[in-house]
Structures are given as structure tokens and as C-alpha cells.
Chains A and B, each alone.
Chain A
Amino acid sequence: QVQLQESGPGLVKPSGTLSLTCAVSGGSFRKTNWWTWVRQTPGQGLQWIGEVFHSASAVYNPSLKSRVTISLDNPNNQSSLRLTSVTAADTAIYYCASVHYFDSGAYFQIDSWGQGTLVTVSS
């Protein structure tokens, strides 16, 4: 089964840029799937960040849209997340997931999740 693994710096300074990568192992990422990013703040709930499809533009959470970029690196079978002007409120566990949509996006299933990576924003 395809596995996802997030990686990147675990510590980012306030006002800096958070950059993470989601890599695939054990196979290839399904080209019919979306790369989706979700985060979870300590002791809090989940928040959808956004997602990207190989032949479409990325879609973002309106509350983060001005600061976030999700991109694909197809040759290397991975996705990247970039979040600018970070504050302590961006401290969270960041997950990537492989999501398959059905019926023109009417509903979806999740094929796999990464284990998540903790990013702390602190000076």
C-alpha cells in the first residue's frame, strides 16, 4: 500500500515561512487522487488547509488563502506546502493525505494519510 511521509523543519521563527514536503513510498501516487493537507493545533481540532490535483489549480481554505501555496513535484512524486508569515497560531501537526473524489466531487474517500509532522513556531 502506498504510504505518505511528511518532512520539513520542526521549528520555524515567527514571521518566517513554513515549508513541508509530502513524499510517496511503496508505489506511485494515484493520478486520479488529490494531494490534501490538513493540520491539527495542539489539543484542538482539525483544519483543512487545501489540496491540489495534477491537472488543476490548488484549492485553499479561505482563512489561509493569502498565505498558503500547495504545489506538486510530479517527477519526484511529492507535494509541497508553503505557509508564509507564520505566527504561534500556526504551530500544529501537519498531515498530508491522498484523497479520491467520486461523482465529480460529490463525495470522497481517503486512500492514505501521512503520520504527520509537528511544526512549532517560536523564536
Chain B
Amino acid sequence: SYELTQAPSVSVSPGQTARITCSGDGLSKQYAYWYQQKPGQAPLLVIYKDNERPSGIPERFSGSSSGTTVTLTISEVRAEDEADYHCQSTDSSGSYWIFGGGTKLTV
């Protein structure tokens, strides 16, 4: 199996753009997903299929993919965006999920 690597933390000021990256060999072949998780809450899917937003997720959240690295971009960051962000993909056969270690976004 392979691993997904995320930086432990990212810090931005309100109104700026936050970019959170996730690296892994399998990301060039399998889709990536991003979850936002606030303290005491279940994860919330904010990006699926590399760059699609589920219904109800603000347009400020976007995803992109390049080779073995995927990026979650949050534009015009707000205080409410402060949370842990987890990337996720699947193994090469698409049989099971793999998560990154998570990135704490501080606003």
C-alpha cells in the first residue's frame, strides 16, 4: 500500500488564499477527496473526484491535481474555515480508502 503525505499545519490570514497539498504515488491514478473536520465534529466532505464540490460547499473551496500531488485551495479564507483538513484516496485497485495525516489550518 502507499501513503498520503500532508504538511502538519498551514497558517493564513483572513481574506488570503490557503493551499493545502497532499502527495502520494497513487494520486496520479486514483481520485482524491478532501474532508474538513472541526473539533468535536465528524468529517465533512468538501471535495470529491479531485475537483468536484458536493452540494452546499462554498465555491471558495476548490481542488486540483497534478501528477502525484493534489491541492485543496480555499479562497478568501474566513475564521470559520479554521479546521483540520484530511486528504483521502484509494489503493491501486480502488478497494479500500487511504487517508493522509491531516493538516491543521490556522486562520
Contact = CB atoms under 8 A, between A and B. Distances in A.
Contact of A45 (B41, B48, B54, B102): B102
A31 to B, nearest CB: 21
Interface majority SS on A: helix, strand, loop or mixed? strand
A109 B48 contact: yes
Interface in B42-61: 42-45, 48-49, 54
Contact of A107 (B31, B43, B97): B31
Contacts of A107: 31, 48-49
Given A106-B31, A107-B31, A109-B54, A46 B99 contact: yes
A5 B12 CA distance: 35
Nearest to B55: A109
Interface string A83-122: 0000000000001000000000111111001111000000
Interface in B62-100: 86, 88, 94-100
Interface of A: 38, 44-48, 50, 59-62, 95, 105-110, 113-116
Contacts of A47: 99
Contacts of A95: 42-43
5 contacts: A45-B102, A46-B99, A95-B42, A107-B49, A113-B43
Contact of A48 (B48, B54, B96, B101): B96
Contacts of A61: 96
B95 to A, nearest CB: 6
Nearest to A4: B42
A53 to B, nearest CB: 13
